Amino acid sequence: MLPILLKEENTRVLVFGYGKSAKLKIKGLQRAGMNITVIAPNAALSDISCIKDIYHPSYLKLADIIIAATDDEIVNKKIVCDCKSKGKLVLNLMDSTNSNFEMMSFRQKGSITLALSTGKKLPTESKRLIEKLSSAIEESDIEIVNVLSSIRMKLKDMGKAEKISSISSYSIEELKRLDTLSLEDLKREVYEENNRWNKRK
């Protein structure tokens, strides 16, 4: 298994079926900014593209990611088989073991994204654990990540590959001070701290 974070918004996602499980997945996909099309005889959404039809392989060309969520296990398995033969990412909501990817529970807190999978079909437990982890992240943690990101981007824009691991334990006040320095002073301080940090290792 290789956990990844799909950063490309507007990725085309096709959902076959419009039952309870499909609706829950659609909400998550909407939050992620995906371009969703729902295909089902009972599909009825005002803000999402819908096609009132049953599954047909010709629809697979409409998307990069496929969700098989019909109430017919045989149809879902057919969708998975067709997708795999075409090199498509496909998730079978009735049988995740018959899929080539899974959607993890996730929460966004500022610039921090948390994702979690129980490795089995335990959505309630995944939700409980992700909420527990999310509640442990404080506003100060988000602020530290934002300032460190700012410092890293400034160094990167200068063409300097200085690592920022040595300053990651700095207080937020000290990080903010670094972030206000001129580019040359910032480069010098981070370089000197890296040398000290390497000697202590």
Q: What is the pTM of this model?
A: 0.73
Number of compact structural domains in the chain? 3
pLDDT at 161 (0 to 100): 59
CA 169 to chain centre: 26
Residue 7, in any domain of the structure: no
Q: What is the mean pLDDT of the chain?
A: 88
Domain CATH for 46? 3.40.50.720
Residue 36, in any domain of the structure: yes
In a shared domain, residues 110 and 61: no
In a shared domain, residues 97 and 81: yes
In a shared domain, residues 26 and 87: yes
Q: Phi first, then psi: give them for residue 140, nearest 5 degrees.
A: -65, -35
Q: Is the pLDDT of residue 88 over 70?
A: yes
Tokens of 13: 């996602």
Range name among 16-20, 35-39, 158-162, 180-184 with the lowest pLDDT average? 158-162
Domain that residue 87 falls in = 12-103
pLDDT at 102 (0 to 100): 83
In a shared domain, residues 41 and 81: yes
Q: Phi first, then psi: give them for residue 186, nearest 5 degrees.
A: -65, -50
Please indicate whether residue 190 or residue 159 has the higher confidence score (pLDDT). 190
pLDDT at 194 (0 to 100): 84
pLDDT at 120 (0 to 100): 63
pLDDT tens by residue, 106-153: 888 888 989 888 876 677 888 899 999 999 999 999 999 999 999 998
pLDDT tens by residue, 17-40: 999 989 988 988 888 888 999 999
In a shared domain, residues 188 and 115: no
pLDDT at 201 (0 to 100): 64
In a shared domain, residues 23 and 98: yes
Average pLDDT of the segment spanning 62-70: 95
- The distance in angstroms from the start CA to the end CA of the chain is 33
Contact 34, 66 (CB under 8 A): no
| Close Cβ partners of 63 (under 8 Å, ≥ 6 residues apart) | 12, 13, 14, 37, 88
In a shared domain, residues 128 and 169: no
Residue 4, in any domain of the structure: no
Q: Is the pLDDT of residue 4 over 80?
A: no
Q: Among candidates 31, 32, 61, 36, which has minimal Cα distance to 47?
A: 36
Altogether, the residues listed in the chain come to a count of 201
Residue percentage of the chain with pLDDT more than 90: 50
In a shared domain, residues 99 and 154: no
Q: Is the pLDDT of residue 92 over 90?
A: yes
